[in-house]
Structures are given as structure tokens and as C-alpha cells.
Chains A and B, each alone.
Chain A
Amino acid sequence: MEESKGPKVALSDKERFPLISDLSFLNQLKQDIHSPIFNFQSGDRLDKGLLDQVKNYDINLKQGKEFWKADQLPVWLENYLSWCRDSVPFYKQRSSDFLNQPTIRREDIRKQAWAFVSMDVNLEHLLLYQTSGSTGPAMDVLFDPVSQACWIPQVESILKNFNIEIEKDKNKVAIAMICAQEKTLTYASLSTYLEGAGILKINLNEKDWNDPNDIKTYLEKYNPQILTGDPIAFTALANLNLNLKPKALISSAMKLMANTKSTLEKQFNCPVIDLYSLTECRNIAYATSVGYRAIRPDLYLEIFDKNEDKILSNGEVGELVVTGGNNPFLPLIRYRTGDFCSLKMIDNIPYLQNLEARAPVNIYKQNGSSVNNIDITRALAKLPIAGFHFHQNKDKSIEFTAYSNEAIKPEIQQALSNILGQDMQVSISLQKVSPNKGIGKSRYTTD
């Protein structure tokens, strides 16, 4: 998710952090002699009532609330549907039977984001992001400080499975979001939920620093506990060879290839977690050896046929459809994510298997037989590629652009030939990952 186009600093620190009176650590992060040239300010905006809601959410997650049993609906679903029908204009005329609910798409939200806002909300809490539009037309996504701050307890619930805790220390940086882009908003902030611990958003682009050496000095000095970002940003960070000791890296927004994951794990000596999330409902699941494990019992997951409103049974690959969440500014009932996978319940926990962002694309061999792009992704997973663009022309020839800092053209050629046949014409372009180059999500396209 990219920030709104050109938002302005508009709040006081009191409005950004209603409950934090001691802002000395924030000032230290901002005024450090080696600090980046921060170009923005941000806070979590949690007052007492809102913070309590985040804490309650955390308690529910920690209590290990049940997901749902295979072939059964979650216990909360009936009340949720009834609340949506009563208070959300978009769902007013809906049937009271969940199984009769039609699916909705990104386009429904894009056209009338306002219609999804519950009548129960206080509009003063409305916050807005405009998505970058990298996967379709830009879209306004409405949310509130609570659903935003709940990112932390959601991630804490994942980290617990790795025996990792985020220390709530008001003299330490808890989370640093790492970017490697030409231009992005950067800031130092605090987390009220983490009792005043620091939050950073950093761009590795040297233009955002007074001295390029400050990147090393600053990040090593504050040594963030958790680093978040995408595989491109992490690869750029790894190239800087900093002496950082994060407890975990949380990678999202793009597919994390297996080779890149293991390279990062070696470099940073910590787990690298591949988190699957969407702007529309935030965190959904994280990668494990048996698929993406769902993390939120408040988000019901179903698999639907790509073209019609037909539920597919467990194990069948189709479009992931989500219901629920905790954002009263965008309650979802059967929202088509545009991502494809199959669903398997293991010990009553849903796992997304064969997850592939966006609809599967059929790639054709020279002899006319088709290959699923999922198989190509798997074949490339073992190579040190941070991201890629695979395009098949009308004459079936392939143009492949990979983002990697290693000379791996022959290995890519070999992997693609193994899948697509030796007679396939493949043109490979390698692009270095750099701290200032914004790169879109990995994708497959055809003429």
C-alpha cells in the first residue's frame, strides 16, 4: 500500500499521540545527528477508548479464539451479517442467509467506498489511504486508528509461534519499515500500544540522508527489533551489510521467493516471515512449510470459482474470498481478493495452499500445451531473485526481467527451459536491486 498522493502534515503531536506525554524518544529519533531527512510526521492517534479496543483485540487473539470447523460457519458470522445488514448501506437489502450472499469485488469498493461505512462509526475516526493502483485503478480505502493499530497484535500472534516478543520499551525502536524507492514518505513515530516504543519508516535511497554513511550509523544505533518491507527493500538492505540484529523480518506486498528468504535469514540471522496481506483487510496469513497459515479468526476464508458465485470444496484451487475483519469503515462480506489458492484445514486452522497473487495465467509451450504460472514460480523459487516480470508474446517467445544482484542468467535460462522446453525462445534481462528503485509486484502477463 502506498501513501495517499501528497498528504500534508496536519496534526499536532497531541493529536498524533493523545496518550503519550513523554515525547523525548521521538525527538531523539528525529533530531539524531545521523537521522534521515524525514519528510513527514505520523502517529497512531489512539486515545483511551481506541487503545482499549486494540488491547481487547489482542486479548481475543491471545486467547486463541477458534477459527471454524471444516464445513461449518464461524460462530460470529450470523451476528456480523446482521450488523452489516442493519448498519452498512451497501448491505441493506441483503438476505439474512450467509450462504446466499453474492461476492463483491474491488470495483464495488472503488466506485462507492462511502457505501461501506457503517452508520455506527464516528466519522471523526475516518482515515484514508489511496492505493497506488499497481494492480488496478487507484482505490480509496477507508479505515480507522483501531484497525490500523491492530496490525501489531496480529503480527505479535505470528511472532509468538517463533518464540519472539516485541519489547515494549519506550527507549527502543520496535518496528522499522524499510523502503527502497525513488521517493516515499519517511518519518519517526511512536506506538501507544507498545507503550511508547519507536516506529520508523526509512527509505534506503541515499538522497533521503544527509550522508550515505548515516544509513549504517543510524540503523545500527537504533537496531530495530522488527524490520518490515518487501523482498526488494530487504535485498537492498542486505546489500548494505549492516550490523543489525533484528528479531524478525516481516516481508509482504510481494511474493518472497524461497532462495531470497534463506539468503535474508542467513544475513540477518533471524526468521524471515512471508506475510500475506491486502490493503482491504490487512493481514491474512503467513507462510509455513504446509501453506499460508491464517492468523485471524475474525476473517472467514472461502474459495470461489473464478467466474461465478460457486463455492469450491476444500482442496480445489480458486479465488480467495474473505468475510469479516475489524474495520467498521470497510466491513467485508464475501470480498473477492483477486488472489488464487486452495484451502485446507489442519487442526482446525485454515491454511492457504498454492497461493498465487492474481489469477493464474496460462503460459504456452511452443507445441501449444499450457503450463500454469504457479509451476514457473516454483521453478524460480530456488534462485536468488527478489522479484520478476514474466511476459509471453503472441509468438510464444518469453521476455523475462529479474531483479537480482547476482549473475544468474544461465540458471534462469535453465529453469525456464526445464519447464517450457528447450525450443522456447527466452530473452532474459537482469536488473540490479538498488535502494532507490521502486519495483512493482512480481507478475505474469501475456499479449
Chain B
Amino acid sequence: MAQVYDLCFHLRKCPPIFLQDSLLQNEDGIDTSAILTDLFRSVSGRFLEVDFNLPKRRQLENQKANYLKSLHIACWLFSHPYFIGRNSLVPKIHEFLFNDLKPICDIVEFEKWIEDEERTEEMVRTGLFACEIQPTGESIDEAIDKLSAISTIDRQEILKKSSQAMKRMMEIRKKMAEKKAQEAANPYGRE
């Protein structure tokens, strides 16, 4: 069990250095590969390990700056003592960092992860969900509901659906206005 509140508090205390550009894209930036390797060593407890199946330098270079900076922030999240030494979480955190996080970063600006309370909670809950960790004091259904309520991706889906519904409504209303002014089709009896 993990306390969402504790993890949010930890995430908001993310040191400013993690918000810098990646060295991969800016020579004054911080070393993304080093941060990732340190994280996986801490979580796995295998401090001499060098290969955690991390993306190659060239792959990371091509990523958007917003994603790389979000990656730094997420590494800070998983540096919380709760995750340290839990080797079984390595593949799950790997999945989160290199798959789950990326599409969200197309929508969320990296600063929001620590400045916007809801986004802070979203990163914590999404990270816990990826690690299959149930938040303390919440049933699984509650945890899913809470994540769904703040999920950027879900929200985008809802907005997309709402916008489709809005478009459809406008089409029908436009057609109704046209047809109201025109002949319809034979009625045959009174109603």
C-alpha cells in the first residue's frame, strides 16, 4: 500500500535541477541517461548493473524536450523510499516511463507535474497503477475511479467525444432549421 498524499508531497518537492533540459539536447542540461540508470539501480538494488534495457542515446535524443523533462520528474517520483529496493517493480516502472508517460506528455507541460495539484496526483496515481500498487485506504474500484476522474487521456477522450456530440448536434439543428422551412412528406391522417 502506498499513501497517495505522501507521494504527491514528495513529487512537489522535486529539485529544480530535474526540470532542466536534457544533456542530450542541451549541453548545459542534465544527464538523462545517468538519472535513469541511478533510478533503476536504486529500485532494483543492483548497484553494479549497467544494462537496464534503457533506450539508446539516439532514441532519447529524438524525443520531445517536454517528455525528457517529464521523465526526469518521474525519476524523482520513483526515488521515493517507498520504491527503493523493490526489484519486482523494475519492468513496471520501465513500462511507465517509456510507454505510458509519453502520450500524456503530448498534452501536459512538464512544469504542471509539480505546479498543478491535479497533474501531480495524476502522475502519482498513473505511476502506482502501472506498478499495480493499490493506494492506501482505497479499494481497487475507488482507485480506478479516482484515476479516471483526473486522467488527462480519459479527459481528452471525453472532450473528443463531447466535441463529436456537439458537432452532430449542430448538424442536426442546422438540418432541422432548413427542413422546418420546407415541405416534408405526405401525411395521410390527422394526429
A residues sitting closer than 8 Å to B (CB atoms) are 1, 3-11, 16, 40-45, 89, 113-115, 117, 119, 123, 126-130, 140, 142, 145, 148-149, 151-152, 155, 175, 177, 189, 191, 199, 201, 228-230, 233, 250, 252-253, 275, 277-279, 282
Contacts and interface: CB of A to CB of B under 8 A. Distances in A.
Contact of B183 (A40, A177, A252): A40
Nearest to B191: A1
Contacts of A142: 172, 176
Contact of A89 (B168, B179, B181, B182): B168
22 contacts: A1-B190, A3-B184, A8-B183, A11-B182, A89-B168, A114-B173, A117-B168, A119-B168, A126-B175, A127-B185, A140-B180, A145-B185, A148-B184, A148-B186, A148-B187, A149-B185, A149-B186, A151-B188, A152-B188, A253-B191, A275-B189, A277-B191
B188 A175 contact: yes
A114 B169 contact: yes
A279 B185 contact: no
B165 interface: yes
A11 B178 CA distance: 13
B184 A4 contact: yes
B185 A126 contact: no
Contacts of B183: 7-11, 16, 40-42
A115 B189 contact: no
Interface of B: 165, 168-169, 171-173, 175-176, 179-191
Given A41-B183, A42-B184, 11 more contacts: A4-B180, A7-B183, A10-B182, A114-B169, A114-B172, A114-B173, A127-B185, A130-B180, A228-B189, A250-B189, A275-B189
Contact of B189 (A16, A127, A149, A252): A252
Given A117-B172, A126-B176, A140-B180, A44 B191 contact: no
A45 B183 CA distance: 11
Nearest to A233: B190
A50 to B, nearest CB: 10
Contact of B190 (A43, A89, A140, A228): A228
Nearest to B169: A114
Nearest to B182: A10
A16 B182 CA distance: 12
A152 B187 CA distance: 10
A233 B190 CA distance: 11
B185 A44 contact: yes
A339 to B, nearest CB: 12
Contacts of B186: 42-44, 148-149, 189, 191, 199
A177 B169 contact: no
Contacts of B173: 114
B175 A123 contact: yes
Contacts of A4: 180-181, 184
A124 B173 CA distance: 13
A226 to B, nearest CB: 8
A199 B184 contact: no
Given A8-B182, A11-B182, A140-B180, A126 B189 contact: no
B172 A123 contact: yes
Contacts of A16: 183
A149 B187 CA distance: 8
Contact of B185 (A45, A230, A275): A45
A23 to B, nearest CB: 15
Nearest to B184: A127
B38 to A, nearest CB: 47
A199 B169 CA distance: 35
Nearest to B161: A92
B188 A199 contact: yes
Contacts of A119: 168
B168 A7 contact: no
Nearest to A5: B180
A173 B176 CA distance: 32
A140 B173 CA distance: 11
A206 to B, nearest CB: 21
A312 to B, nearest CB: 26
Given A42-B184, A44-B185, A114-B172, A127 B179 contact: yes
Contacts of A140: 176, 180
Contacts of A41: 183
Which 9 pairs across A and B sit closest by C-beta, in order of nearness?
A: A253-B190, A1-B191, A228-B189, A114-B172, A10-B182, A128-B179, A127-B184, A151-B188, A279-B191
